[in-house]
């Protein structure tokens, strides 16, 4: 049932938001926050999928014209409240990351400035504007990892998994220890059904960034799939 899917997904997402919040609290001023920002982008992408399922469930229940006492209506209300709570938590994490003071002793590169402008646009839902800024960042520095990875996230969101993974792998070719790209590569592999490679990529991301929420989520989803169908690899 769709409401059950929403409930399970929200429980998982809540745990990853909690993990992210702890990472943010332990981040010192002047630290590189690009991995944290990439985590928020990934969580928002997953939240969008949960919202879609929740809206479908709401429409199904409305079409059924249930009586006011039907427990499904109360369940729907509970899940909508949980959804709002998780959404608020992710938004708060986003604001907390933005408030971490950057290093002031080092000049910001043109590529970073353009990437940051694109990331700020992505927070407002302006995917086209974000894409333009990321591409401009790559003109300034063709190997700038955050821009490559963020472009990959946009391609993934559009369902262009091959194009997304090409960007994630290019990111890793230039910055091998970039946990966000490793976790995103794992996510694509999971989507394409390559469980073994997905697990390896997610575990590598965790080696480079212990506690990294998107990598933990990929491993959690893999564990569920393998429990349901242990013979498939």
- The mean per-residue pLDDT over the stretch 117-124 comes to 93
Q: Confidence band (pLDDT; 50, 70, 90) for 69?
A: confident
- The mean per-residue pLDDT over the stretch 105-124 comes to 87
Query: Which range is most confident: 44-48, 136-140, 191-195?
Result: 136-140
Q: What is the pLDDT of residues 77-109, one digit of tens each?
A: 888 888 888 899 899 988 888 888 876 655 679
Q: Which architecture, in CATH terms, is 107-233?
A: Alpha Horseshoe (1.25)
pLDDT of the residue at 205: 94
- The mean per-residue pLDDT over the stretch 138-161 comes to 95
pLDDT at 193 over 70: yes
List the domain boundaries for the chain: 1-103, 107-233
Mean pLDDT over each residue of the chain, to the nearest integer: 87
- The answer to whether the beta carbons of residues 171 and 181 sit under 8 Å apart is yes
Among 175, 174, 199, smallest CA distance to 185 is for 199
Q: What is the pLDDT of residues 4-41, one digit of tens each?
A: 877 787 787 788 788 888 888 888 777 778 878 888 88
């Amino acid at each position: 049932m769709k409401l059950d899917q929403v409930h399970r997904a929200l429980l998982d997402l809540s745990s990853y938001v909690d993990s992210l919040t702890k990472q943010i609290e332990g981040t010192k001023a002047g630290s590189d926050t690009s991995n944290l920002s990439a985590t928020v982008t990934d969580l928002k992408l997953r939240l969008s999928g949960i919202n879609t399922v929740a809206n479908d469930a709401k429409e199904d229940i409305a079409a059924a014209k249930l009586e006011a006492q039907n427990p499904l209506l109360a369940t729907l209300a509970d899940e909508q409240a949980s959804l709002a709570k998780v959404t608020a938590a992710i938004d708060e994490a986003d604001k907390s990351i933005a408030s971490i003071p950057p290093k002031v002793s080092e000049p910001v590169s043109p590529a970073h400035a353009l990437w940051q402008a694109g990331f700020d646009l992505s927070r407002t839902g302006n995917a086209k504007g974000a894409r333009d800024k990321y591409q401009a960042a790559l003109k300034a520095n063709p190997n700038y990892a955050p821009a490559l990875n963020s472009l990959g996230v946009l391609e993934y969101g559009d369902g262009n998994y091959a194009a997304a993974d090409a960007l994630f792998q290019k990111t890793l070719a230039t910055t091998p220890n970039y946990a966000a790209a490793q976790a995103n590569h794992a996510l694509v592999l999971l989507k394409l059904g390559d469980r073994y490679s997905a697990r390896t990529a997610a575990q590598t991301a965790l080696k480079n960034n212990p506690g990294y929420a998107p990598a933990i989520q990929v491993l959690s989803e893999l564990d569920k799939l393998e429990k349901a169908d242990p013979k498939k690899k």
